[in-house]
Structures are given as C-alpha cells and as structure tokens.
Amino acid sequence: MPLSVPSDIEIASSVKPRPIVDVARDLGLTADDLELYGKHKAKLPLDVTLQPVRGRLVLVTAINPTPAGEGKSTVAVGLSQALRRLSVNAVLCMREPSLGPVFGVKGGAAGGGYSQVIPMADINLHFTGDFHAIASAHSLLSAMLDNHLQQGNPLNIDTRRITWPRTIDMNDRALRHAVIGLGGAANGVVREERWVIIPASEIMAIVALSTSRENLEHRLGQIIVGANVTKSPVRARDLKASGAMALLLKDAISPNLVQTLEGGPAILHAGPFGNIAHGCNSIVATRAGLALADVVVTEAGFGSDLGAEKFFDIKCRVGGLNPEAAVLVATVRSLKMQGGRTSSSSAFPLSSRSTVSSPTRKRS
C-alpha cells in the first residue's frame, strides 16, 4: 500500500463528526426523541420501529469470501454515502462490532478507508453498552442455573447435559473448556463449562430477532439451558430468569444512531456471528430505518450462499421485511481462491486490484 494512503484510524480522526442531534434531525427526529450517549451516539426510541414502513430495503451481500472478507461493509457504507450525495434520503443499517475481535488480529468492524462509520473508537469499544448488557443477561442466566443446582436442583437438571454456556466479550481461548464449581459444597456443583464470545450468545441472536419488548422477553423465556434427567428440555422460564434478563436488556433492545464518515445516518444494532447465528443487524434497527428513510442499505454476514440466505429466510420472515434489491460484492481475489488457488495471503499479490477496496480488518 503506498505511503500516501492514510490508515483507517487516521481517516476516522480527520473528520469532525456532526452532533448526533443534527443527524437525527435529518431523519425527522428531535433531541427529545433521543437518549444521548455523549454527543455523537444516541439510542432511538423503540416505538419508531412500529411506525409504518416508508423506505425500500437494499441488501449488500458478497461472493464467497476470503479470510480477509471481500468488502461488504465498505460497499454498504459507500453505497449509503453515494445515495445521500444523490440527495436520496438513505440510511445505513449495520451490526455492532464485538470487543473480542477488536483486540484480536481481526480488528473492529465499521467499514474502512473513506467508507467508515464514526466515532470509530467508541463504536469499537463499549459503544452504548449493548454487548455489556447482553453479557449481563447471559451471565445472570448462567448464575441462576448454577444456583438452581446448588439449591437442591428441584428441576432435576442433568449436569452432564447442560447446553447453556457462559459468555465473555473477549477472545479468551483458555475459557473454551473449563471446570467450575470446585472448592467444596459451598462453592456450587462441579461441572464442565465453556465460554462463548458475545456475538455467539443466543441472547445476541434473540436481541437481533426480537420485534418488541414483549417478544424479547418471550424469546428469552424460550431459551433451552439443558436437559433434565429424563432428557426433557429445561428453559430459562423454568428458572424464572426471563424477567430479570429482559430488565437488563431494557436499553439494549433500542437501536443506536451514529453517522457515516460523510455525516449520513447509520443505525448500528446487535451483532450475531454469521457462522453460527443469522449474521444480520437487528430487526428493530432495520424497521426503524424503513420508518425513517426512503432507502435502507443493510448487510448480511459472510457470502450470499450463507449470509444472504439467512437474511431472506430468517430475518425477513421474522421481521416482515421485503427487500427490493441486492448488491453482490465480487473480487478477483475471491474468484481465485474459490477456484482452487491456495488461501495464503501471499498468493494474492495483485488481488487488491479488485473493484472494491480491501478492508484488512474483518469480523466473522
């Protein structure tokens, strides 16, 4: 890369963001409608998502990706920026990044180059606390489950058949397989445990699929935490956990408003992984966009075969969404790789000549 190309963070830092109140005004919202998180982030009111759809939905997907990704996010951000330059009232809807990969080799995820979402650092770190709230709700269910075992296990849960993991928003391989509850009778029941990263938490998928607070709490109650000794499923509602979990998610269920590098509105909300979940931003975020703008540009994780399919088959059905167009990102690099060339990055010295820019940091 020529030295004259600034880094993502240099580009992000070079722009003075608009007050988020101004960005919201473009969408017809007042300061009173917002819950501010500093001057450049805000929560949208959840009832916006119940307003009539006025916008048209465009999906950005991609050819089968390479390990580095093929630029869906960059194209999506750029497309929404281009539409606004054409005076189209467009809004971008994307996932929130996870803290784990931010500190790992993959880095954060908010586009790249001149197609970014800002404020970059805030978005990549704690943002508006959604992932922390999801972690708290997840951890509460874990703690209530183990406390149930400790208090005599009246539901007869089979400790060998617990499927609910613990979670942490960190890349932490030493927690993939653990034993908990050691230290005698006062310290819980001994059992095997595993931690998953927040984007792999079922609660992340639930937040992304929920259509209202009531629906959220219902879905939380449906979570299967394991099997009892007769191999029947035991659910979060059997542990009477769903009310407290929903309380912990009372703010996290609302979509977040930030802006693109060019000051256009961007709604970032939820971030389920595309490999194990459906890999899309939340339904309430997309519905908020459709209620507030004429065109909504959104994205689905991984390639068209996996991500777009899940988007159409799961998210659109659950959310009552009708996409009207799809943009397919294709690169020479991916064509080479899917065609049998080795996946070594050194095998693609010229592949940056693809039609889209090449983000070097991607989440899965």
Residues numbered 74-133 forming contacts with its own copies, rule: CB under 8 A: 99, 103, 125-126, 129, 132-133
C-alpha angle with apex 134: 131 to 137, nearest 5 degrees?
A: 155
The single residue among 53, 82, 244, 330 that binds its own copies, judged by CB under 8 A, is 244
Nearest to 76 by CA among 294, 307, 300: 300
The yes or no reply on residue 332 touching its own copies (CB under 8 A) is no
**If you write DSSP's letter for every residue of 189-249 in order, what string do you get?**
--EEE-EEEGGGSHHHHHHHH--SHHHHHHHHHH-EEEEETTS-EEEGGGGT-HHHHHHHT
* Shorter beta-carbon distance to its own copies: residue 224 or 347: 224
Q: What is the largest CA-CA distance in the chain?
A: 68
Write phi, then psi, for 88 (nearest 5 degrees).
-85, 135
Nearer to its own copies, 43 or 310 (CB): 43
Alpha-carbon span 159 to 125, nearest angstrom: 35
By CB under 8 A, tell whether 325 contacts its own copies. no
**Residue placing its CB nearer to its own copies in the complex, 185 or 350:** 185
Interacting span for its own copies (CB under 8 A) from 4-12, 84-92, 187-195, 310-318? 187-195
Residue 16 has φ and ψ, to the nearest 5°, of -90, 115
Copy the structure tokens of residue 277. 């979940």
Q: For residues 187 and 345, which CB has a smaller minimum distance to its own copies in the complex?
A: 187
Nearest-5° angle of CA 237, CA 313, CA 252?
A: 45
Site string for its own copies, 161-180 (x = CB under 8 A): x------xxxxxxxxxxxxx
Residue 62's beta-bridge partner residues? Answer: 329
Query: With respect to its own copies, which residue has the nearer C-beta, 88 or 224?
Result: 224
Closest approach, Cβ 178 to its own copies, in A, equals 5
Beta-bridge partners for 323: 57
Among 215, 218, 251, 357, binds its own copies (CB under 8 A): 251
The correct pick among 181, 312, 326, 327 for binding its own copies (CB under 8 A) is 181
d(CA 234, CA 141): 12
CA gap 133, 92 in Å, rounded: 24
Which one, 224 or 229, has the nearer CB to its own copies? Answer: 229
Count of CB atoms within 10 A of residue 178's CB?
Answer: 12
In the shown chain, the binding pattern of residues 202 to 241 toward its own copies, with x for contact by CB under 8 A and - for none, equals ---------------------------x------------
- Per CB under 8 A, does 143 bind its own copies? yes
Number of residues that bind its own copies (CB under 8 A): 60
Footprint of its own copies (CB under 8 A): 35-39, 43, 99, 103, 125-126, 129, 132-133, 135-136, 139-140, 142-143, 146-147, 149-150, 152, 158-161, 168-193, 229, 244, 247-248, 250-251
